[in-house]
């Protein structure tokens, strides 16, 4: 084992990963549909139980995505994803 590998074992990265990556698909969809960043933050708070600010969303939407968007492959996951999208549609129906 080399010096680098030994050092890596002893030291964990301190750089934080945004919790918004988990909701990247939903955030992107809402943004493309024309919802404001404040509305998206409200959705994340009420539906996903995730607190964020308009400023954090703005930075998240501007930065290049370092992680690929989720790809749903398994059939039961497709049903869950459709249910999420349905919840999303139902939630924002009141704004239409």
Q: What is the pLDDT of residues 7-62, one digit of tens each?
A: 988 988 887 778 898 999 999 999 999 999 999 999 999 999 999 999 999 999 99
- pLDDT per residue as tens digits for the range 47-80: 999 999 999 999 999 987 655 455 444 444 444 5
Mean pLDDT along residues 81-93: 62
Asked whether 45 and 23 are in contact (CB, 8 A), the reply is no
How far is it, in rounded angstroms, from Cα 80 to Cα 83?
Answer: 5
Confidence of residue 84 (pLDDT cuts 50, 70, 90): low
Neighbours of 71 (CB within 10 A): 7
CA-based torsion, 49, 96, 90, 85: positive or negative: negative
State the pLDDT at residue 79: 45
């Amino acid at each position: 084992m080399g010096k680098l590998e030994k050092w890596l074992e002893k030291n964990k990265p301190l750089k934080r990963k945004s919790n918004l990556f988990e909701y990247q698909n939903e955030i992107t969809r809402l943004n493309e549909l024309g919802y404001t960043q404040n509305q998206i933050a409200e959705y994340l708070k009420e539906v996903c139980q995730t607190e964020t600010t308009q400023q954090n969303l703005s930075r998240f939407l501007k930065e290049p995505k370092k992680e690929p968007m989720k790809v749903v492959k398994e059939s039961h996951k497709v049903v869950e994803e459709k249910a999420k999208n349905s919840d999303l549609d139902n939630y924002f129906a009141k704004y239409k």
